Structure 1
């Protein structure tokens, strides 16, 4: 994170879902878009929460400007995040653990489909 500067532009409290919705502006002139891991660690450090409760929803990069805007959800409890966030967001943010979770869910879905097919016959 040499030439990158992060700035929290907005924080919105969502009490119903027990999370904070944060907009982060990243300036990265002559550098690639920051990784989700770097962004998660920075947001967690700034807000004083555990990295496991921070989830990057979207990073939108402006072409040629060297500026990105990230949409981040910060949950009060990581268990709540696993219930609310879609599987693809969990897989993107949790790395290997997320990929295993996604594969496990896909396997369960395919097993359910097979059972339904057998019942119809």
Structure 2
């Protein structure tokens, strides 16, 4: 995070889902787009929450400008986050744990398909 600077543009409270929805601007002149992990760590430090409660929805980079805008959801409870956030968002943000979660879901889905095929025969 040497040449990156972050700035919170907007914070919106979503009480129904128990989360805060943030827009964060990242300036990264002459550097690549900041990683999800860098943004998650910065947001968790700024808001004083655990990194496991912060989920990056999207990082959109402006071509040639050295600026990115990230949409972020910060949950009060990580269990609620796992219930609300789509599986692909969890996989992107959780790293190895997310990959294991995806594999587990794929395995269950294939098992259900096999059961349906057996019933049809």
Q: TM-score range by the shorter chain?
A: over 0.9
Matched ranges for 1:81-96 at <5 A: 81-96=81-96
The residue that corresponds to 2:103 in the other structure is: 103
Gaps of 5+ in 2: none
Tell me how far 1:45 sits from its aligned partner. Answer: 0.4
The answer on 1:58 being equivalent to 2:52 is: no
The residue that corresponds to 2:31 in the other structure is: 31
Matched ranges for 1:8-23 at <5 A: 8-23=8-23
Give the TM-score taking structure 2 as reference length. 0.99
The residue that corresponds to 1:48 in the other structure is: 48
Aligned residue pairs, count:
121
Divergent runs of 4+, >4 A: none
SS for the counterpart of 2:33 is: coil
Give the TM-score taking structure 1 as reference length. 0.99
